[in-house]
């Protein structure tokens, strides 16, 4: 029925059960992102246990970068470069200027982003991108990456501005909408207008969504149904177009 295009599967206490639960709800594959090299190893192991149902992302999250010393950042980046050889995509990577308030921290985030975009280009892997308070900068990096390599770039949870969503449409950058469409009118209004050619579905599991509690990958099916309702389209038709978008996003040739 649909994929979960952005999920922190390895952070769950019962990731295997969550995969089976997802499959039962029609959610497959789950794109399992990682925030550092240890998590990257964990998601590769999950992918190997659930071939076809899980795809593994190797990444260094910008919010993790600010928690690490420069030496540790270097170590994680080196390990991730090695792990990327066996990964299905690069992510979660990006910029988070809420967590990086000082310019040196932001510079470290930018350096890591640039380096991991290069790794993705070299390995012919699509990228799964995070942004907070750095929207233009990350979007421009995504556009430059996509134009240079022809590879897929996904701005995850990028559902707060219709204007930025239009720029993504024009440049072929994917956007994933998540469970916030179930609880936020504002997000729902943006998600309703995102062009069908770039729209994907995610959960960002295990993020908590208000009274709904922590997300599970199976929720991608609920998000898809809500999006179909918002967009006044048939859920099977939307499911088909999201499936096609996922294939385009993952295309590596």
The site for Zn ion (CB under 5 A) is made up of 92, 204
Residue 66 carries which DSSP code? T
Residue 86 carries which DSSP code? G
Rounded to a whole number of angstroms, the minimum distance from the CB of residue 64 to Zn ion is 11
Name residue 51's beta-bridge partners: 54
Rounded to a whole number of angstroms, the minimum distance from the CB of residue 85 to Zn ion is 23
Closer to Zn ion by Cβ: residue 96 or 204: 204
Closer to Zn ion by Cβ: residue 131 or 149: 131
Alpha-carbon span 120 to 157, nearest angstrom? 21
Rounded to a whole number of angstroms, the minimum distance from the CB of residue 240 to Zn ion is 26
Tokens, residue 3: 């994929």
Closer to Zn ion by Cβ: residue 41 or 92: 92
Rounded to a whole number of angstroms, the minimum distance from the CB of residue 205 to Zn ion is 9
- CA nearest 126: which of 108, 106, 142? 142
Residue 208 carries which DSSP code? B
Q: Is 181 in a helix, a strand, or coil? A: helix
Q: How many CB atoms lie within 10 A of CB 99?
A: 18
Alpha-carbon span 173 to 76, nearest angstrom? 27
Rounded to a whole number of angstroms, the minimum distance from the CB of residue 217 to Zn ion is 13
Residue pair 60/76 in contact (Cβ under 8 Å)? The answer is: yes
Closer to Zn ion by Cβ: residue 122 or 210: 210
Closer to Zn ion by Cβ: residue 94 or 117: 94
């Amino acid at each position: 029925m649909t994929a979960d295009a952005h999920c922190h599967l390895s952070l769950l206490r019962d990731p295997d059960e969550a995969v089976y639960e997802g499959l039962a709800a029609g959610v497959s594959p789950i794109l399992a992102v990682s925030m550092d090299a240890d998590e990257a190893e964990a998601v590769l192991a999950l992918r190997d246990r659930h071939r076809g149902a899980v795809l593994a992302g190797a990444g260094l999250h910008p919010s993790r970068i600010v928690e690490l010393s420069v030496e540790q950042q270097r170590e994680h980046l080196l390990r991730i470069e090695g792990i990327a050889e066996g990964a299905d995509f690069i992510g979660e990577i990006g910029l988070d200027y809420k967590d990086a308030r000082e310019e040196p921290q932001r510079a470290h985030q930018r350096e890591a982003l640039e380096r991991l975009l290069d790794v993705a280009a070299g390995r012919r892997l699509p990228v799964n991108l995070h942004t907070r308070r750095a929207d233009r900068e990350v979007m421009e990096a995504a556009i430059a990456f996509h134009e240079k390599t022809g590879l897929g770039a996904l701005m995850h949870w990028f559902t707060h501005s219709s204007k930025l969503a239009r720029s993504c449409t024009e440049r072929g950058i994917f956007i994933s909408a998540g469970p916030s469409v179930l609880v936020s009118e504002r997000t729902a209004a943006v998600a309703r207008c995102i062009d069908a050619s770039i729209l994907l579905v995610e959960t960002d599991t295990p993020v908590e969504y208000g009274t709904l509690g922590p997300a599970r990958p199976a929720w991608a099916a609920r998000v898809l149904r809500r999006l179909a309702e918002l967009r006044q389209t048939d859920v099977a038709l939307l499911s088909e177009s999201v499936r096609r978008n996922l294939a385009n996003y993952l295309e590596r040739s």
